[in-house]
Structure 1
Amino acid sequence: MTTIAFVDQDPALAQSLSGSVLSDYSADQESPWTWHFMETAGELLTHLQMERVDCVVSDMQASLRDGAQLLNHIAIQNPHTVRIALSSQVDAEMTLESLHATHRFIAKPTDCETVIEAIHRSLALHQKLSDRTLRSLVASITSLPVLPDIYNQLMTEMASSNFSIEAIGRIIESDISLSATLLKVVNSPYYGLVQHVESPTHAANLLGVELVKNILLCEKVLSQFKPDRRNEKAISELNTQARIRGVLANRFARVAKFRKRQIDHCQIAGMLGSLGDLVIQTGMVDPVVDENTTYHADQIGSSILGLWSLPDPVVEAVLTQRQEASPNGTLTVAHVLHALRRLDALFANSDRMPNEKFSMADALPDSTIDATLQRRWFDCYCDFHSDLQQAA
């Protein structure tokens, strides 16, 4: 049985979800849902003392204790509970305060289908990442390897009297390990920023050069990594593809008219999508545990990002990016990264640049994405790679 608690003073949500809507959906689940509607944070806290709750959906204006405080409290006292925030534009300050304690945000006004899908996606994701063997496998990874040339570029720029924070940001974004490490720290409560961080460059601007330098040195991000020539080439290629995928994911999200937060999530997912490949390539993790257990790179990468408290939409996108079937449901970050991966695979073994001989339907034959949007994504992809070829 999966228990869900809703905390919202507005009766509209309870009215729309109560009755047959939740009951019908729950009946189709492997673990049936049971739910409670509460008007105040105090009611929920009392309930949590008596009963386990698997998912909390809280309005950011929950009375007695505002939504931000409530979610932060649950994150500490009940860390395994999935936490979803309902927020409107006027809740911006509290939304920022709860950034590190929230798995998903849902903008208000909303509808019951959106809320139910968000709950389902987060519960399913956390279930997939609850594998104890997998979590144990990645738990020891506290630092990531960086190619010496990139690390030296970064240290040189930060030591310069004429350093540029923009240049520092660009160097960080050119490397999966540096990007992942900085975003890990920014998302941690200790270094947590009371502001939405949209990219490693944004994080560097907010933190400042000295703090960025101290963070990377303290995190021991280099890990004394000395790759052989073959490994160095492979990792360099992973970094190049990650940078390209981050840019394209951002563009796809803008074409789809995503909200700002979703656009940022798309770019981060694109940049960090190859994290699992990186740790396998460098020998930090052996994906073969025993003769019966082998983990895919995306399981490993998403598990690391989940442990490091990156947002659920980013973790979900990384986990599902190379799955055989296209994602279902409302258009999300996962759809963007999956489409990019399919396009990459379509052209990977071709000596031709993306062109009119192919179509988005070749990459996404089973997709439910609107045909017009598919076409625009395909054109965006082709134009980007054409520009790259001309610039080479």
Structure 2
Amino acid sequence: MSDRILLVDDDPNVLAALRNSLRRMRDRWVVVGATSGEEALALMQEEPFAVVVTDMRMPVMDGAELLERVRDLSPTTARIILSGYSELDAVRRTVTVAHQFLAKPTEPGTLEEAIQRALSLRELVADEAVLRIVGRVDRLPSAPRVFARLTAMLGDPDVSAADVATLIERDVAMSAKILQLVNSAFFRSARRISSVEGAVRHLGFATIQKLVLTLEVFASAGAIPVNGLSHEAIQDHALAASRLASRMPGDAEARDDAGVAALLCDVGLLLLAAEATSEFRAAWEQAAATQRPLHEVEREVHGTTHAEVGAYLLGLWGLPLAVVEAVANHHAPERIPREGMSVAAAVYFADTLAAEATGEGGPFWSRPPLDESLLAAASAGDEVAKWRGLADDLSLAGRS
């Protein structure tokens, strides 16, 4: 069955050009056009669409309003905004409803690649119910008061980009969304930015401050709905795993990607805890009662885990494929190719060792032993003792 793609633009000539740019996919996709938000919604009432791509500025109903309606009508539909309107106000209006941002006019192949990416990411999540959860969520749970702390920090004339990044990285959800935005068409980065410090340097303090405020308005500050787990514990683990992953062997880009992926590994857990509370609590309680890792029980209950759910969302946001794959597989070493020290392998090692170093019990920290075949493929067997010592040091630093 062909995937259905809906393109929306009030200019018929632009709409025709967009459809023409996807002609070579006509054997695999059914591409439908609409010249208004109202027409698009009427078409969606008749038949479902896998992806909706819309212009931002349209009369009567603009792209932001349309995608908000799409989100409510069809949560599993991937939502892409297409616009040359690059002011911060546009970002603020679309930040909670668009999965990806593309510049208008698009470069050849860019739209096709974005649609293909959105479609392929659906395969990461086997459970349609979880797909619906991901689709209707417009924010991840965030720790509160980051904006207040950032404002106070910026009052210091000697503050650095590294200082600001360190503050933001304490909040996993905030880090994920800022990386999504800095790599979007609205900010037109000449190269992909894969670290929070890089985002701060690229955007500048003033823009970062505004984005943090905007994101916090939409952030949930609710507690994790189970005993024995908190936002702070998840963030401390993410930060330790990120620092460890960024010190694994590899070139600078690979280490950056590994650090980012480790920082964002558990965004899916935050999402499930906030938006599928009863299901999350049931999986947690079963894992605790049987003394098993949470991800193993999640797979039995949902057909997927928080790892795949988080990867799906990060992929829709447009983070690098290496990051998405590492997040998806950080509890599944058997799926990681035996190709040396890849980003996914580094993240798996770092996440496992950082969890082990806490000395904590319970479903979140429980991990099987390191996969020996993956260690051998990465030629890393002799490095484990050194990494374990570093993980212990990072864990102690996080608790001090």
Q: TM-score, normalised by structure 2?
A: 0.59
Which of residues 273, 279, 284 in structure 1 aligns to 2:275?
Answer: 284
Q: Distance in 1 between the 2:397 and 2:223 partners?
A: 31
Task: After TM superposition, give the deviation of residue 262 of structure 1 in Å.
Answer: 1.6
Amino acid at match of 1:277: L
Q: What is the CA deviation profile of residues 21-61 of structure 1, one whole-angstrom value per residue up to 9, with x for unaligned ones?
A: xxxxxxxxxxxxxxxxxxxxxxx9697165449xxxxxxxx
Amino acid at match of 2:261: A
Which of residues 108, 113, 135 in structure 2 aligns to 1:139?
Answer: 135
Higher RCO (CA < 8 A, seq sep 6+) = 2
Counterpart of 1:321 in structure 2 is 330
Is the Cα contact below 8 Å between 1:287 and 1:295 reproduced in 2? no
Which of residues 363, 374, 386 in structure 1 aligns to 2:381?
Answer: 374
Which of residues 147, 167, 170 in structure 2 aligns to 1:171?
Answer: 167
Identity of aligned residues (%): 19
Across the two proteins, how many residue pairs are aligned to each other? 284
Pair 1:309–1:196, CA change in 2 (3 A): closer
Does residue 337 in structure 1 map to residue 337 in structure 2? no
Task: After TM superposition, give the deviation of residue 383 of structure 1 in Å.
Answer: 3.2
**Is there any run of 5+ residues in structure 2 with no aligned partner, and where?**
3-19, 30-103, 283-299, 362-367
Amino acid at match of 1:284: E
Q: Distance in 1 between the 2:228 and 2:156 partners?
A: 27
Pair 1:133–1:251, CA change in 2 (3 A): same
Which of residues 189, 212, 230 in structure 2 aligns to 1:216?
Answer: 212
Does residue 273 in structure 1 map to residue 262 in structure 2? no
Does residue 300 in structure 1 map to residue 309 in structure 2? yes
Task: After TM superposition, give the deviation of residue 169 of structure 1 in Å.
Answer: 1.2
Counterpart of 1:76 in structure 2 is 111
Farther off after superposition, 231-240 or 137-146 = 231-240
Q: Distance in 2 between the 1:49 and 1:179 partners?
A: 35
Task: After TM superposition, give the deviation of residue 242 of structure 1 in Å.
Answer: 0.7
SS of alignment partner, residue 219 of structure 1: helix
SS of alignment partner, residue 194 of structure 2: coil
Which of residues 360, 371, 375 in structure 2 aligns to 1:364?
Answer: 371
Q: Distance in 2 between the 1:228 and 1:341 partners?
A: 20
Farther off after superposition, 304-313 or 69-78 = 69-78
Is the Cα contact below 8 Å between 2:333 and 2:348 reproduced in 1? no
Is the Cα contact below 8 Å between 1:172 and 1:201 reproduced in 2? no
Q: What is the CA deviation profile of residues 334-367 of structure 1, one whole-angstrom value per residue up to 9, with x for unaligned ones?
A: 111122233345556579xxxxxxxxx9522332
Task: After TM superposition, give the deviation of residue 178 of structure 1 in Å.
Answer: 1.5
Counterpart of 1:59 in structure 2 is none
Counterpart of 1:187 in structure 2 is 183
SS of alignment partner, residue 309 of structure 2: helix
The within-5 A match list for 1:24-39 is none
Q: Distance in 2 between the 1:243 and 1:285 partners?
A: 25
SS of alignment partner, residue 73 of structure 1: coil
Counterpart of 2:254 in structure 1 is 262
Counterpart of 2:149 in structure 1 is 153
Q: What is the CA deviation profile of residues 59-79 of structure 1, one whole-angstrom value per residue up to 9, with x for unaligned ones?
A: xxxxxxxxxx99943232464
**Is there any run of 5+ residues in structure 1 with no aligned partner, and where?**
3-43, 54-68, 83-102, 104-121, 352-360
**Structural RMSD (CA):** 4.1
Amino acid at match of 2:205: V
Amino acid at match of 1:190: F
Counterpart of 2:294 in structure 1 is none
Amino acid at match of 1:188: S
Q: What is the CA deviation profile of residues 302-353 of structure 1, one whole-angstrom value per residue up to 9, with x for unaligned ones?
A: 11101111111111111111126362331321111122233345556579xx
SS of alignment partner, residue 271 of structure 2: helix
